[in-house]
Chain A
Amino acid sequence: MSEFKYTKDHECIYIDGMIAAVGISEHAREALGDLVFIELPEIGKQVSKGDDISVVESVKTAAEVYSPVDGEIVEVNNPIADDLELISRPVNEDGWLVKVKVADNSAFDDLMDEAAYEQYLKEID
């Protein structure tokens, strides 16, 4: 059973108790190509599901990263802004962007597991 969850916007999420570490999926990384900039939010900010929490910018385009849940930003991965390559690491290691703390962990129920995400990628291809 995979611990990773996914959204239709290609966020990849690792859940540890009430904390969601949010990054982007491998599919999103490949689609973006050469990265040039990552923008991170302020710690302590309250966010709703769907709010922008980060921007991952490549030579091609700027991709907004949306919060997968309602919650509070409790941590940001500052080293990743200086070492963009870290984003290719798993989100439970160095590849996360933002950690969001939820009030109620049933918020995670809507997220896709790895199998559902794989299926979703096939559908949109």
Chain B
Amino acid sequence: MPEFTALHGKHVDLNAKMGEFAGYDMPLYYDMGIKKEHEWVRSSAGLFDVSHMGQMVLKGDGVIEFLEKITPSSFSKKNIGRAQYTVLTNENGGIVDDLIITKVGDHKFFIVFNAGCKDKDIEWIKAHMPESVNMEILDRVLIALQGPLAKKVLEDIIQCDISGLLYMSYMEVQSPCGQDIFISRLGYTGEDGFELSLPSDVGRHFWTEFLKHEAVRPIGLAARDSLRLEMGYCLYGHDIDDTTTPLEADLGWVIGKDNKSYIGADKIIEPKRRRVGIRILGKGIAREGAEIINIDGKVIGSLSSGGFSPTLGQSIGQGYVPVEYATAGTKIFVNVRGRNIEAEIAKMPFIPAKTKSIKAVKVA
């Protein structure tokens, strides 16, 4: 039996096409279809149920040192209310999971992690956690509101002032009946947007309220995948896993300058292969598993994910190739059903991230 999120009934009422993801029965797409949902998020505001993801709070003395042991990032100088995308590393320098860690207090962090890694992460963190640190698993709804109109929608519906909330930042507000809503300005689409963590009943209420807004449509996991693919974001278990290091995955930026003592640090060395973006130039759609071939016909890798980009109208993907092929513009082929299709290594994101402009506000 798959698990259900607290919003499952809402998806069924909306006549969503449901499918299994990470053990949960989740909405893959709704009435509009994947392509229109994708375009809706790029032009208006899309609402996603991501309650299948894990949420926890780690707090206590030594929690910063602990986080700097299980991740390569630095947390000591981080301001309260700032969120960090990072990874858990294993002894071989591989990635246990990728996650968002937000500093919500001096010794308190709110963490959102992948649904498919829940048990593994909890076990991994507990196995390394000092006694002074306490773990609380949260059973809350997680809703993502993403798109150029997300900010306006959020202000209209939640009626809170979020003008001071920067990209990759967090604030808490009270629902009308006094329950805490955690709002983070971030997402998995490359658009301005928010993730809201709410108690289940409050989450069900606001899910329905958001959908009453004319700018909002519900968006399923299929469009979530094509949106993140256009941004070159990693999907755990596909583009990164226990055998890929952060440097191989081109996630070197998560490694903090001062952090030298995290798990697997000595194994994270100059990589021989690197995760790259791939743009298909010929006709056809290349999906996960398709072989990447050099111009001499030799197989040099395979796609870790791939699909159609509604924004570009062409097929894009990601995969690992030896570093000598990792330069943008390098001509390659991708084999689809026995046919070699012209392709090239491409810079990621494939389309500019709108989140950059939010970041600029912070610098100014």
| Set of chain B residues within 8 Å of A34, measured between Cβ atoms | 33-36
A45-71 near B? 1/0 per residue, CB < 8 Å: 000000010010101101000000000
Q: Are A33 and B285 in contact (CB under 8 A)?
A: no
Q: Given B222, B283, B284, B337, which contacts A59 in the complex, CB threshold below 8 Å?
A: B222
Q: Are A36 and B34 in contact (CB under 8 A)?
A: no
Q: Are B35 and A37 in contact (CB under 8 A)?
A: no
CB contact under 8 A between A36 and B285, given known A59-B34, A59-B308, A59-B310: yes
| Set of chain A residues within 8 Å of B308, measured between Cβ atoms | 36-37, 57, 59
The size bracket of the interface on B is 10 to 19
| Set of chain A residues within 8 Å of B33, measured between Cβ atoms | 33-34, 59
Q: Are A37 and B226 in contact (CB under 8 A)?
A: no
| Set of chain B residues within 8 Å of A33, measured between Cβ atoms | 29, 33-35
Q: Report the separation of the CA atoms of residues A39 and B315 in the bound assembly, to the nearest whole angstrom.
A: 14
| Set of chain A residues within 8 Å of B337, measured between Cβ atoms | 39, 52, 55, 62
Q: Report the separation of the CA atoms of residues A51 and B106 in the bound assembly, to the nearest whole angstrom.
A: 64
Secondary structure of the A contact surface, majority rule: strand
Asked if B307 is an interface residue, CB under 8 A from chain A, the answer is yes
Q: Are B222 and A39 in contact (CB under 8 A)?
A: no
Least CB distance, B170 to chain A, in whole angstroms: 33
Q: Given A36, A52, A57, A60, which contacts B222 in the complex, CB threshold below 8 Å?
A: A60
Q: Report the separation of the CA atoms of residues A18 and B226 in the bound assembly, to the nearest whole angstrom.
A: 43
Q: Report the separation of the CA atoms of residues A36 and B284 in the bound assembly, to the nearest whole angstrom.
A: 8
Q: Report the separation of the CA atoms of residues A2 and B33 in the bound assembly, to the nearest whole angstrom.
A: 31
B1-38 near A? 1/0 per residue, CB < 8 Å: 00000000000000000000000000001000111101
10 A-B pairs with least C-beta separation: A34-B35, A59-B34, A36-B308, A57-B285, A33-B33, A59-B35, A59-B308, A37-B285, A34-B33, A37-B284
23 A-B residue pairs with CB within 8 Å: A33-B29, A33-B35, A34-B33, A34-B35, A34-B36, A36-B285, A36-B308, A36-B315, A37-B283, A37-B285, A37-B308, A52-B337, A55-B337, A57-B285, A59-B34, A59-B35, A59-B38, A59-B307, A59-B308, A59-B310, A62-B285, A62-B287, A62-B337
